[in-house]
Amino acid sequence: MRSVVVTGAGSGIGLSTTELLIDAGWHVIAADRDSAALERLQERHGNQETSLTTVALHITDEKAIADLAEKCRNLSAPLEALVNSAGIGSNVRFADTTADQFRRIYDINVVGAFALSQALAPILRENGGGSIVHIASVSGITGNLGRSAYGASKGALITLTKIMAVELADDLIRVNAIAPGPIETPMVKENHTAVTREEWHRTVPMRRYGQPEEIASAIAFLVDGRQSSYVTGQILAVDGGFTAAGLMA
């Protein structure tokens, strides 16, 4: 059995990824700041003790990250992958975004992923290599309205992905990112208005939102070295064709 850390595991993409990887035979260390969500996850998979460990973690807490890294050094199933799914978003125009809002989003979406990756990369190296997958966004690729802070953070994460892939290649650690389009997650349901949804349906060639399970499937491919052993430094847009589209009518 192999182990993988998944952050943001209590809901949305992180939850779907956790459950898919458990079904695929991984031991998942599910980390989230929402203890109640972790309890619900544990209840659903309580009969699979060898497949799930839950850890309360706020991605900006460097002491908690260090504690998690220490836990990962002593796993019976060696750590082979990290999925950085924890993140927050906002739908605020540039002129209305405060510096504090910008810093908070950047701290969670970029610095958190950086710090956890830096803490776990030595363990992956000691275990013979592995895979790191960041959850970016199409908002880090295109200039989506109202995404100045969120889009900038995801753009930074995309660049970080490429740099990490180059620097960690000698350690046999592959680093990739998924750039989801509009996905039916709790964060999206909170931030997308009816007008926003209409606009996504107009600009996504497949004319629908994706499901968290569709992102999880792409993550499962990237963390599995038997399937993606020569894939690193890539940004995989799982977006219903959004980033490929030009004129739609």
Helix (H, G, I), strand (E, B) or coil at 128: coil
| Residue 68 DSSP one-character state | H
Could you report the per-residue pLDDT of 100-125, keeping only the tens digit for each?
999 999 999 999 999 999 999 999 99
Assess if residue 188 is contained within a domain.
yes
| pTM above threshold 0.85 | yes
Assess if residue 113 is contained within a domain.
yes
Could you report the per-residue pLDDT of 196-223, keeping only the tens digit for each?
899 999 999 999 999 999 999 999 999 9
Confidence of residue 175 (pLDDT cuts 50, 70, 90): very high
Assess if residue 124 is contained within a domain.
yes
DSSP one-letter string for 15-55: HHHHHHHHHTT-EEEEEES-HHHHHHHHHHTTT-TTTEEEE
Assess if residue 202 is contained within a domain.
yes
CATH at residue 182:
3.40.50.720
Domain that holds residue 113: 3-244
Determine the pLDDT at residue 37. Answer: 95
Could you report the per-residue pLDDT of 52-80, keeping only the tens digit for each?
999 999 999 999 999 999 999 989 999 99
Tokens representing 138 are 């199409």
Number of independent structural domains in the chain: 1
Assess if residue 249 is contained within a domain.
no
Assess if residue 50 is contained within a domain.
yes
In order of 23, 102, 171, 202, 243, the CA distances from 148 in angstroms are 37, 8, 35, 22, 18
Determine the pLDDT at residue 189. Answer: 83
230 noted as active-site residue: no
Q: How far separated are the first and last CA of the chain, in Å rounded?
A: 50
Assess if residue 38 is contained within a domain.
yes
Confidence of residue 145 (pLDDT cuts 50, 70, 90): confident
Q: How far apart are CA 88 and CA 86, in angstroms?
A: 7
Catalytic-labelled residue, pool 106, 150, 209, 230: 150
Assess if residue 187 is contained within a domain.
yes
Q: How far apart are CA 199 and CA 38, in angstroms?
A: 34
